[in-house]
Structure 1
């Protein structure tokens, strides 16, 4: 069944950049005639809104600390987007996998990948230079675009890659959380030193 891998991959990608998922799927469905794309994603108003929000994310995601604020705002938005896209995919396919179950899979996967992204980005923000944010953000966008396109044509390999990336991300997140903790401890100590009477 190719629907479950497609739902899993779109969920993973939605957790990283939901607007890119909607925009790319909509454009490929509308102009390349891909049958697995739900017509709701091909609508002009949906494409315009996704395009504008994608551009906003492309800018915000490359600025240190702004990216973490953006991620915090999207803790609810990305999982909902992943659930909605998954439900639309299941409803459009008239598959035995119910829209509700598909939404749960897509939303849960999106939440997991979003938490990985947000946590890793907080770790990147502890580095003193700003260029790593731009590099990581660009790599994320390219990976999302490549995996969504691959999933529409070859869902199983795309889902395997998305699963591997999620596992790697969860592993890195464990290391990153300790780095973030050390960063905030050092920052508190510096503030305390500055505030101490001389």
Structure 2
């Protein structure tokens, strides 16, 4: 596995952890346990994810997040609590993916993984805050379900096709930045009103 593939997988998993950390941990551990995800020797540290205790806690967290994320305003409270948890989790997952014999690469992976996860978390939390301003609860459940499906699908694609994982990470990054910009615009309009025309 080349350096670009490793960076791509680490970037994709970190960004997805900013959306659904527990689901990423559980899905990766399950795929490894079922031998659907062959792990190269230098990524043996990921083996901890298939530990029954780790998988059990991740499954409980994923289930709790699944339901909490469908309830208006409870999802924002859940996101607030996880503002620290998701970036640290994303950084640790990125760290586990790189070669432990290369300390420089480990530091880079930890910093970039944490940053990517924090950015994705910020985009998700901002977008959900905007959705919560909608008076009906259906949009909240629809957006949350779309995030669930996208996380599983993109996680599978990142591990199944490591060559295009970097492209997946880049696509996610563009999406997150777009969500942040959209949320900023909507929140500004909600709280400060429409801009007045000049002249």
TM range (shorter): 0.7 to 0.9
User: Which residue is equivalent to 1:69?
Assistant: 77
CA contact (8 A) 2:119 2:176 kept: no
CA contact (8 A) 1:90 1:97 kept: no
Measured after TM superposition, the shift of residue 144 of structure 1 is 0.9
* Unaligned stretches of 5+ residues in structure 1: 187-198
In the alignment, structure 1 residue 59 sits paired with structure 2 residue 63: no
Q: TM-score, normalised by structure 1?
A: 0.86
User: Which residue is equivalent to 2:52?
Assistant: 44
Measured after TM superposition, the shift of residue 96 of structure 1 is 7.4
User: Which residue is equivalent to 1:165?
Assistant: 172
User: Which residue is equivalent to 1:10?
Assistant: 13
Measured after TM superposition, the shift of residue 41 of structure 1 is 0.7
Measured after TM superposition, the shift of residue 177 of structure 1 is 1.9
In the alignment, structure 1 residue 107 sits paired with structure 2 residue 110: no
User: Which residue is equivalent to 1:176?
Assistant: 183
Q: How many residues are treated as equivalent by the alignment?
A: 185
- What is the alpha-carbon root mean square deviation over aligned residues? 1.9
Report which of the two structures shows the higher radius of gyration computed on alpha carbons.
1
Aligned-partner SS, 2:135:
coil
List, as ranges, runs of 4+ consecutive aligned residues in structure 1 with deviation greater than 6 Å. none
